Amino acid sequence: MPDTAQVIETQGLVKRFGRFTALDGLDLSVARGEVHGFLGPNGAGKSTTIRVLLGLLRANGGTARLLGGDPWSDVVELHQRLAYVPGDVALWPSMSGGEAIDLLGSLRGGLDDARRDELVERFELDPTKRGRQYSKGNRQKVAIVAALASNAELLILDEPTSGLDPLMENVFQEVLGEAKERGTTVLLSSHILSEVETLADRLSIIRAGRIVETGTLAQIRGNARTSVHATLTRTPAAADLAALHDVHLDGARLTATVDADGIGPAMSALAPYGLESLTVAPPSLESLFLRLYEDEGDAAGAR
């Protein structure tokens, strides 16, 4: 199959289950070597998209290309080049975790043994335990180690840290960053927005089976306003706060928002009133995500 700069590319992808349309013309593009965040609430179509990309479901319309091949007809060859971690890992009950890691690795052309051992240690995984003895979090660790110890070109991760404690989530972020440095391409679907914000080069947000926003975090932030929290020594005159929006004064404390190109004028306007403390925070991914869904919901309700 030919090499391509786009490791994942779908155009107009449609998937129906009876009368229900799960994917409604989905366009998704993931470039080689990037970590691509894939966001959306339950029922938006994330898992259906991933199942189509893995060749587990056949689309009803549109096109999908994965590593230059067709996910449906080239499924065997493609699965030798990718690794998948679902949000709820099922293991063979009588097989040890180490044996499961090695078996999964053999399906992908083998493992880097040194990296395997290092990851087992970093994730504090006991590879001698049987599948039936593992907690949900430890089952996730087995799948994560098997995926990241392989030399897979593409990682498809669907809520991979489900069940992990915060310490192990931090380890996951570290090792995924190392995989990116090795040139691995990653499609990361996660409900932990801070995780995506930290790791992703680009993001795609899905709603009702369509991509409604895609780009870098900076691009998605676009003209979204920055939050300003200040403690002043004097109460400012309303006329001097024209550069600020959504102004709220509670005694000496001020909260407001400001346009991206208005931060300088806003600070100049506040400075004469004595800044005892000041916090300026760009919109978080979580706030952008929630605002997008609120706006979309309002638009749908107006129709």
Strand order in the sheet with 185-189: 82-85, 154-158, 185-189, 35-39, 202-207, 210-215
- Taking alpha carbons only, the member of 162, 161, 163, 144 closest to residue 152 is 144
Name the segment(s) of the chain with CATH classification 3.30.70. 225-282
As assigned by CATH, the class of the 6-220 domain is alpha beta
Give dist(CA 30, CA 153) in Å, integer. 13
Residue 200 main-chain phi, psi, to 5 deg: -80, 140
pTM of this structure: 0.81
Predicted local distance difference test score (pLDDT) of residue 259: 82
Give the pLDDT mean for 272-300: 74
Give dist(CA 171, CA 278) in Å, integer. 33
Tokens of 36: 């691509």
Name the segment(s) of the chain with CATH classification 3.40.50.300. 6-220
CA distances, 119 to each of 178, 244, 270, 295 (Å): 12, 49, 51, 42
Tokens of 211: 């991509």
Predicted local distance difference test score (pLDDT) of residue 35: 97
pLDDT digits (tens, 9 = 90+) for 80-101: 999 999 999 999 999 999 999 9
Instruction: Please check the confidence at residue 4 and state whether its pLDDT lies above 80.
Output: no
pLDDT digits (tens, 9 = 90+) for 190-227: 888 888 888 999 999 999 999 998 999 888 877 678 88
Q: Which residues contact 232 (CB under 8 A, 6 or more apart)?
A: 252, 253, 254, 270, 273, 274, 275, 276
CATH topology for 225-282?
A: Alpha-Beta Plaits (3.30.70)
